[in-house]
């Protein structure tokens, strides 16, 4: 019951929202504060290994069930914290965007749906809240309701709908062998049927769409950049993490901490390669963007790649996979914190300049000193600078990948090399963002207004947690990650994680090299104009998709044209035949004169003539057929007509 | 006995009363129509509940040397329950819609007769009664199709009659053949042809499916349905999305499970191809729907596609497939009637019938367009709506029958459904904001009320499918 109550807290805010007269009542703030408080108080036992479970007792095929284990608890707390921060930030910001009330409602409903996804106890309950979240957050994306927003909205809606349908089909396929798809019950048994393996693949694709896994990420840069900034922060900070959460749960069906073999053995390498591709494409896309929000959105793709890579390494390593899983979860938390900070910072600049194009901004350090400092922390976080939170999770992920590379195939070895390369790209793109925004030539735009207390408070909250994690990286691992990994079935996570040293010299040196190379690359890129390069259409996935779509639609158009022309021609032909038939029968009806060859039936009626003709034909046919009994004839009528 | 009779005759009685009332008594007429449709609904519910709980209600009469049997089983009771419930909603909607239309008396009289005919189809206990009521339904709905009396309407009516009667002729031949081959025509004692092994069964199945397939709008026998959209919107909504077309679907379900039986069906070569005929109709129907610009025609082609979902489930010959089919009968009808009701409100209030000119309609008719949006999401098969459950069980049925590609067809159709409807909803909220709301005025609540109510019911069933589950279970247990 407690769990259902938690899910409905934001919905309880809806009536207040409807009846409130005073716009200073911040309902999302109250809801998220309540959740954070209740979560911190109520989830104590969860982290010691006992899950909270509640199943509604409804008759029929569906009764929602709810469950919180350590993994869910981490996500619920993270979501509540992010919503709290955004609730502090949004009222001030939305003054500049308009339609405050609608935004607030949407925030509440999405919050409830997100909590539902994290607390769901079986796949169908999860799908229910997943779809609700899609619908609720769609209104964030189309908030501005101009051409661009509607287009991005279509991208978002259609990709999400397809994701939902994939999940449904995956559930059907996976459930075809009769397992109940409840979460937290471990692996669903051997994957002997190809159908249940396809079920897993479909579930991964469905959650992968939400997670922005390449090539299913096309919607993400559009949707995350047109939404109002607080919504972008939540979309990038948390909503895409639902995809990652789903992937972890799918991993649970396959079995964390078990050496995968047979039909599911491809999942580890598959996820690793998907992760690396996502990282690479995301970071390349980010380097080429000129719009700050699009750059951040592409970076969400890239950072999701890290997370997917971690999950892949975790599955690949089987019993030793705790680094991969824990690194992924840790990175989810860290990415949520710094990506939200970055978006909120860009939003602060946007409120004052109404501009997010990086090449039109610059030199804003003087006017926005606090934002600049806070953004600098976030940039250090995302690039993995030691002392900030990104370093902690990237180190664990790097450990996981190198561990896999030791054991593994050339694919995984390449994954390790590309890991460093992506780090360089990340540093370069954020050096570019920071340089073009806060340093460099002062902007020519008119700057009105500046930082307010709410903006600073919201961002400082995030940065405080980031610094805390950065300085005490082991804390999260001890409190949350260890019970989480053990709860998911990684039995020997304890020794591996307790022996973790974050401050090993090779790691520090590696990071320093990455940072230096990144800054150098950024300098080269800015000087040479490399960042202005636009890839040709067929090289981008989006352009490729568009080309395929155009091919299909022209094929469809031509096919339907052919069909229509054929139909018209046939109809015309039929009309001609009907006309001839009519004239013929008119002639037959006409008793005056009919001529067959030389004979003229001018005196008898045509009907009689017709009758006679039929009789003659019948006599001929039956004579011929009768002959067939004695002589072999070229056309065997006797056989066809019968005796 | 009493319940059955009351349910069956409430429509005809109501029609007689309506016809004998003086022309100018609009309010009295409405009261009578409402009274008799509610009677029909209440008694069909009582029949259905009794049947679902394992009871037995039957009327068997000897008339003219023939045996007429009314003996509903769970399948028939379910059909009767769906039809009669939606009849009440359509009746209320009609009060609003017909306010400024001509010839209300004729309209309501035939509206009520059709209720009786539909319930007759649902409750029939042998092939003869089924055939009789099936033909009666064609004749009773013909005046409703040509209600406008325009050239288009008359042409559509002719098409409707020719298609339906040709189908019925095929059914009659098939019924005679069935009787000659087996000597039985009643459904109660297991499948009719259960121990008949002889050549020609494929032909018989083709005759039955072809005959009922006309009303079930199985491609390529669907052409009458888009043409019949000239009828008033409540008729399009109720008859051409639910009652009449369901009588065809119901006929095919009967043929598959009560005439042939699933064991015999499993051995027929034609029966293995039938799911693919349905799959073809599902995909092609919805693709054609995306090409239509007139909203009602789009909905009509969409109906063609969705009806084949039910047939697909039935043709899988699996318990989950049949369960999905029955769930889809329930859930599709609620959402489709909602969509048609919305189309009617848009046509009446915003005077707009083309999808391409919907810009800004949403601002003047917000509630209508929200209901339309909810129903569109349902047609995609998203979870808070009831169609998810039917799709889910249809997919399970497809997988269970060993043809998992049928599940892919349903997913593909879901995506095309999204392309078909969601842009319309989004576009209706683009463009200029209307100054005044179109949803005020005397008769609006009569049209909007049933629409919103049905969308709410769809949501409720989606969140709690347990409320319709006993019925679905009863039907599945009857045949498996």
pLDDT band at A623 (very low <50, low <70, confident <90, very high): confident
Least confident of A20-24, A467-471, A606-610, B462-466: A606-610
Q: How far is A95 from chain B (nearest CA, A)?
A: 21
- Do A518 and A575 lie in one domain? The reply is no
In a domain, B434, yes or no: yes
The predicted model gives B211-225 an average pLDDT of 89
Q: Pick the most confident of A543-547, A622-626, B406-410.
A: B406-410
Give kind and range of the element (H or E) at residue B69. strand B66-70
B467 CB neighbours in chain A (<8 A) are 60
- Do A153 and A40 lie in one domain? The reply is yes
Encoding tokens for residue B361?
């309609």
- Do A583 and A483 lie in one domain? The reply is no
Phi, psi (degrees; rounded to nearest 5) at B35: -55, -50
State pTM to two decimals. 0.90
Count A/B contacts: CB-CB distance under 8 Å: 89
HEC letters along A355-380: CCEHHHCCCCCCCCHHHHHHHHHHHH
Encoding tokens for residue A519?
């800054």
Least confident of A152-166, A595-609, B52-66: A595-609
pLDDT band at A589 (very low <50, low <70, confident <90, very high): low
User: For residues A303 and A337, is the Cβ–Cβ distance under 8 A?
Assistant: no
CB atoms within 10 A of CB A541: 15
Q: pLDDT digits over A351-365, tens only?
A: 888 888 888 887 888
- CA-to-CA distance for B293 and B443, rounded, in angstroms? 27
- Do A502 and A611 lie in one domain? The reply is no
- CA-to-CA distance for B471 and B460, rounded, in angstroms? 16
In a domain, A523, yes or no: yes
B465:A158 CB<8 A: no
In a domain, A629, yes or no: yes
A128 CB neighbours in chain B (<8 A) are 383-384, 463
In a domain, B149, yes or no: no
The predicted model gives A400-406 an average pLDDT of 85
Encoding tokens for residue A597?
């060859």
- Do A281 and A298 lie in one domain? The reply is yes
* Best B382, B427, B472 residue to mutate vs chain A (most A CBs within 10 Å): B382
- What is the per-residue pLDDT for A610? 74
Query: Higher-confidence residue: B24 or B70?
Result: B70
**DSSP per residue, A434-485:** HHHHHSSSPP-S-------HHHHHHHHHHHHHHHHHHH-HHHHIIIIIHHHH
- What is the per-residue pLDDT for B267? 87
Q: pLDDT digits over A220-252, tens only?
A: 888 888 889 999 999 998 999 999 999 999 888
Nearest C-alpha in B relative to A127: B383
For all residues of chain A together, what is the average pLDDT?
A: 85
**DSSP per residue, A31-45:** HHHHHHHHHHHHTTG
In a domain, B214, yes or no: no
CA distances from B339 to B128, B376, B377 (A): 35, 8, 11
- Do A558 and A614 lie in one domain? The reply is no
User: For residues A204 and A169, is the Cβ–Cβ distance under 8 A?
Assistant: no
Q: pLDDT digits over A335-345, tens only?
A: 999 999 999 99
pLDDT at A595 over 70: no
Q: pLDDT digits over B247-302, tens only?
A: 999 999 999 999 988 888 888 888 888 999 999 999 999 999 998 889 999 999 99
In a domain, B107, yes or no: no
- Do A464 and A607 lie in one domain? The reply is no
Three-state DSSP class for residue A58: coil
pLDDT at A594 over 80: no
- B411, B426, B469: residue with CB nearest A150: B426
In a domain, B123, yes or no: no
In a domain, A348, yes or no: yes
In a domain, A78, yes or no: yes
User: For residues A35 and A24, is the Cβ–Cβ distance under 8 A?
Assistant: no
Q: pLDDT digits over A354-399, tens only?
A: 888 888 887 888 888 888 999 999 999 998 888 888 888 888 898 8
- CA-to-CA distance for B247 and B68, rounded, in angstroms? 18
Place of tokens 């903006």: A455
Query: Higher-confidence residue: B102 or A574?
Result: A574
- Do A563 and A639 lie in one domain? The reply is no
Nearest C-alpha in A relative to B380: A161
A131:B465 CB<8 A: no
- What is the per-residue pLDDT for A641? 66
- What is the per-residue pLDDT for A178? 66
pLDDT at A591 over 60: no
CA distances from A366 to A370, A432, A433, A460 (A): 9, 18, 17, 19
- Do A67 and A204 lie in one domain? The reply is yes
User: For residues A250 and A482, is the Cβ–Cβ distance under 8 A?
Assistant: no
A169:B407 CB<8 A: yes
The predicted model gives B107-117 an average pLDDT of 92
B429 CB neighbours in chain A (<8 A) are 145
The predicted model gives A325-353 an average pLDDT of 91
Three-state DSSP class for residue B60: strand
CA angle A144, A146, A147 (to 5 degrees): 140
CB burial of residue B421 (10 Å; 0-12, 13-18, 19+): buried
The predicted model gives B166-181 an average pLDDT of 91
Calculate what percentage of chain A has a pLDDT beyond 70: 94
- What is the per-residue pLDDT for A147? 84
Q: Domain count for chain B, please give it.
A: 1
Query: Higher-confidence residue: A579 or A446?
Result: A579
pLDDT at A190 over 70: no
- CA-to-CA distance for A241 and A243, rounded, in angstroms? 5
- CA-to-CA distance for A79 and A295, rounded, in angstroms? 23
Q: pLDDT digits over A202-214, tens only?
A: 999 999 999 988 8
Three-state DSSP class for residue A55: strand
In a domain, B244, yes or no: no
Non-local CB neighbours of A212 within 8 Å, separated by 6+ positions = A220, A240, A243, A278, A282, A300, A301, A304
B465:A157 CB<8 A: no
Place of tokens 């350590």: A70
Three-state DSSP class for residue A257: coil
- Do A458 and A561 lie in one domain? The reply is no
B465:A60 CB<8 A: yes
In a domain, A539, yes or no: no
In a domain, A416, yes or no: yes
A165 CB neighbours in chain B (<8 A) are 380-381, 411, 414-415
- Do A497 and A630 lie in one domain? The reply is no
User: For residues A295 and A289, is the Cβ–Cβ distance under 8 A?
Assistant: yes
- What is the per-residue pLDDT for A596? 65
* Best A60, A150, A160, A557 residue to mutate vs chain B (most B CBs within 10 Å): A60
In a domain, A538, yes or no: no
Place of tokens 């031509």: A558
Nearest C-alpha in A relative to B396: A172
pLDDT at A263 over 80: no
> What is the DSSP code (8-state) at residue B432?
P
- CA-to-CA distance for A100 and A149, rounded, in angstroms? 17
Buried b (16+ CB within 10 A) or exposed e, B311-327: bbbbbbbbbbbbbbbbb
pLDDT band at A602 (very low <50, low <70, confident <90, very high): low
In a domain, B449, yes or no: yes
- A127, A132, A158: residue with CB nearest B418: A158
Least confident of A422-426, A585-589, B288-292, B366-370: A585-589
Cross-strand partners of A120: A66
- CA-to-CA distance for A403 and A259, rounded, in angstroms? 15
Give the ipTM of the model, two decimals please.
Answer: 0.92
Domain containing A353 equals: 2-533
B380 in contact with chain A, both atoms CB, cutoff 8 A: yes
Long-range contacts of A143-151 (CB under 8 A, 24+ apart): A143/A97, A143/A99, A143/A102, A143/A103, A143/A106, A143/A227, A143/A228, A143/A231, A144/A97, A144/A226, A144/A228, A145/B429, A145/B430, A148/A226, A149/A226, A150/B426, A150/B430, A151/A222
- What is the per-residue pLDDT for A599? 66
pLDDT at A598 over 80: no
In a domain, B135, yes or no: no
A131:B418 CB<8 A: no
The predicted model gives A263-290 an average pLDDT of 87
Q: pLDDT digits over A45-72, tens only?
A: 888 878 888 888 888 888 889 999 889 9
- CA-to-CA distance for A543 and A551, rounded, in angstroms? 12
- B389, B430, B469: residue with CB nearest A59: B469
B366 in contact with chain A, both atoms CB, cutoff 8 A: no
User: For residues B160 and B228, is the Cβ–Cβ distance under 8 A?
Assistant: yes
- Do A480 and A511 lie in one domain? The reply is yes
Query: Higher-confidence residue: A401 or A633?
Result: A401
A205 in contact with chain B, both atoms CB, cutoff 8 A: no
Cross-strand partners of A54: A66
- CA-to-CA distance for B401 and B76, rounded, in angstroms? 25
Q: Domain count for chain A, please give it.
A: 3
B423 CB neighbours in chain A (<8 A) are 154
Domain containing B400 equals: 277-480
A63 in contact with chain B, both atoms CB, cutoff 8 A: yes
The predicted model gives B326-340 an average pLDDT of 93
A60:B377 CB<8 A: no
């Amino acid at each position: 019951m407690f769990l259902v109550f938690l899910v409905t807290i934001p919905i309880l805010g809806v009536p207040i929202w409807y009846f409130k007269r005073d716009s200073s009542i911040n309902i999302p703030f109250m809801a998220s504060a309540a959740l954070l408080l209740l979560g911190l108080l109520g989830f104590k036992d969860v982290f010691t290994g006992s899950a909270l479970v509640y199943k509604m007792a409804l008759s029929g095929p569906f009764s929602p069930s709810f469950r919180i284990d350590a993994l869910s608890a981490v996500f619920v707390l993270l979501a509540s914290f992010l919503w709290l921060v955004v609730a502090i930030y949004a009222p001030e910001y939305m003054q500049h965007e308009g339609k405050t009330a609608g935004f607030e409602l949407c925030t509440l409903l999405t919050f409830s749906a997100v909590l539902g996804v994290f607390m769901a106890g079986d796949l169908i309950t999860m799908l229910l809240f997943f779809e609700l979240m899609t619908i609720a957050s769609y209104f964030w994306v189309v908030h501005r309701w101009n051409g661009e927003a509607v287009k991005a909205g279509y991208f978002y809606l259609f990709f999400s709908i397809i994701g939902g349908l994939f999940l449904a089909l995956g559930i059907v396929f996976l459930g075809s062998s009769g397992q109940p798809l409840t979460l937290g019950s471990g692996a669903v048994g051997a994957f002997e049927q190809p159908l249940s393996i396809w079920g897993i693949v479909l579930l991964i694709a469905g959650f992968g769409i939400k997670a922005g896994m390449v090539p299913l990420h096309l919607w993400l840069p559009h949707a995350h950049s047109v939404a109002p900034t607080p919504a972008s922060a939540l979309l990038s900070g948390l909503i895409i993490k639902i995809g990652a959460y789903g992937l972890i749960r799918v991993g649970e069906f396959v079995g964390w901490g078990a050496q995968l073999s047979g039909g599911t053995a491809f999942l580890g390498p598959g996820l690793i390669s998907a992760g690396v591709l996502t990282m690479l494409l995301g970071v390349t896309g980010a380097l080429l963007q000129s719009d700050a929000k699009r750059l951040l959105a592409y970076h969400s793709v890239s950072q999701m790649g890290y997370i997917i890579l971690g999950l892949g390494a975790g599955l690949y390593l089987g019993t030793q996979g705790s680094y991969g899983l824990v690194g992924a979860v840790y990175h989810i938390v860290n990415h949520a914190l710094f990506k939200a900070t970055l978006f909120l910072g860009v939003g602060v600049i946007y409120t004052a300049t109404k501009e997010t194009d990086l090449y039109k901004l610059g030199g804003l350090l003087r006017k926005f000193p606090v934002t600049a400092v806070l953004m600098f922390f976030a940039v250090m976080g995302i690039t993995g600078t030691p002392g900030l939170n990104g370093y902690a999770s990237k180190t664990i992920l790097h450990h996981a990948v190198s561990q896999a590379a030791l054991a593994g195939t050339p694919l995984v070895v390449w994954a390790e090399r590309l890991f460093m390369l992506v780090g360089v790209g990340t540093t370069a793109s954020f050096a570019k963002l920071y340089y073009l925004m806060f340093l460099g030539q002062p902007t020519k735009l008119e700057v009105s207004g500046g930082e307010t207390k709410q903006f600073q408070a919201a961002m400082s909250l995030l940065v405080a947690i980031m610094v805390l994690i950065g300085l005490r990286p082991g804390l999260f691992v001890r409190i949350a990650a260890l019970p989480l990994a053990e709860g998911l079935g990684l039995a020997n996570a304890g020794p591996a994680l307790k022996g973790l040293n974050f401050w090993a010299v090779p790691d520090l040196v590696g990071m320093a090299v990455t940072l230096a190379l990144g800054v150098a690359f950024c300098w080269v890129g800015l000087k040479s104009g490399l960042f202005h390069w636009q890839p040709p259409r067929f090289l981008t996935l989006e352009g490729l998709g568009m080309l395929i779509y155009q091919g299909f639609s022209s094929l469809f158009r031509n096919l339907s044209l052919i069909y229509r022309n054929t139909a018209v021609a046939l109809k015309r032909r039929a009309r001609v035949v009907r006309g001839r038939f009519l004239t013929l029968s008119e002639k037959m009806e006409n008793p005056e004169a009919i001529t067959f060859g030389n004979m003229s039936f001018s005196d008898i009626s045509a009907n009689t003539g017709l009758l006679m003709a039929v009789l003659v034909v019948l006599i001929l046919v039956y004579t011929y057929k009768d002959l067939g009994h004695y002589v072999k004839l070229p056309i065997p009528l006797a056989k066809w007509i019968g005796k | 006995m009493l319940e059955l009779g009351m349910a069956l005759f409430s429509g005809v009685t109501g029609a007689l009363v309506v016809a004998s009332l003086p022309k100018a008594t609009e309010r009295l007429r409405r009261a009578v129509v409402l009274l008799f449709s509610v009677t029909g609904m209440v008694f069909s519910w009582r029949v259905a509940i009794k049947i679902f709980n394992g009871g037995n209600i039957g009327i068997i009469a000897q008339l003219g040397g023939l045996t007429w049997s009314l003996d509903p089983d769970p399948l028939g009771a379910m059909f009767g329950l769906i039809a009669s419930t939606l009849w009440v909603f359509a009746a209320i909607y009609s009060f609003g819609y017909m306010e400024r239309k001509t010839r209300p008396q004729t309209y309501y009289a035939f509206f009520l007769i059709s209720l009786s005919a539909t319930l007759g189809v649902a409750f029939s206990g042998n092939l003869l009664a089924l055939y009789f009521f099936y033909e009666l339904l064609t004749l009773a709905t013909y005046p409703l199709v040509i209600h406008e009396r325009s050239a288009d309407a008359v042409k559509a009516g002719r098409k409707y009659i020719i298609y339906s009667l040709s189908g019925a002729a095929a059914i009659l031949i098939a019924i005679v053949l069935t009787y000659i081959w087996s000597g039985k025509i009643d459904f109660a004692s297991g499948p009719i042809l259960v121990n008949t092994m002889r050549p020609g069964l494929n032909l018989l199945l083709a005759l039955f499916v072809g005959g009922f397939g006309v009303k079930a709008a199985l491609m390529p026998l669907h052409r009458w349905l888009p043409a019949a959209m000239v009828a008033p919107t409540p008729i399009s909504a109720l008859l051409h999305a639910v009652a009449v077309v369901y009588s065809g679907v119901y006929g095919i379900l009967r043929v598959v499970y009560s005439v042939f039986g699933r064991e015999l069906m499993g051995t027929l070569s034609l029966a293995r191809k039938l799911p693919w005929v349905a799959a073809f109709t599902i995909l092609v129907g919805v693709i054609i729907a995306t090409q239509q610009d007139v909203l009602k025609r789009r909905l009509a082609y969409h109906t063609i596609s969705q009806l084949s979902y039910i047939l697909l489930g039935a043709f899988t010959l699996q318990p989950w497939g049949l369960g999905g089919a029955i769930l889809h009968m329930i859930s599709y009808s609620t959402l489709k009637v909602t969509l048609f009701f919305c189309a009617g409100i848009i046509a009446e209030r915003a005077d707009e019938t083309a999808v391409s000119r919907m810009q800004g309609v949403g601002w003047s008719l917000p509630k209508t367009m929200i209901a339309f949006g909810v129903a569109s999401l349902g047609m995609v098969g998203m979870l808070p709506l009831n169609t998810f459950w039917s799709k889910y069980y249809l997919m399970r049925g497809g997988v269970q029958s060993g043809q998992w590609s049928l599940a892919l067809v349903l997913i593909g159709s879901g995506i095309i459904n999204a392309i078909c409807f969601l842009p319309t909803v989004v576009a209706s909220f683009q463009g200029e904001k209307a100054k005044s709301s179109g949803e005020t005025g005397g008769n609006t609540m009569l049209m909007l009320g049933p629409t919103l109510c049905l969308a709410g019911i769809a949501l409720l069933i989606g969140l709690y499918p347990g409320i319709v589950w006993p019925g679905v279970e009863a039907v599945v247990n009857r045949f498996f």
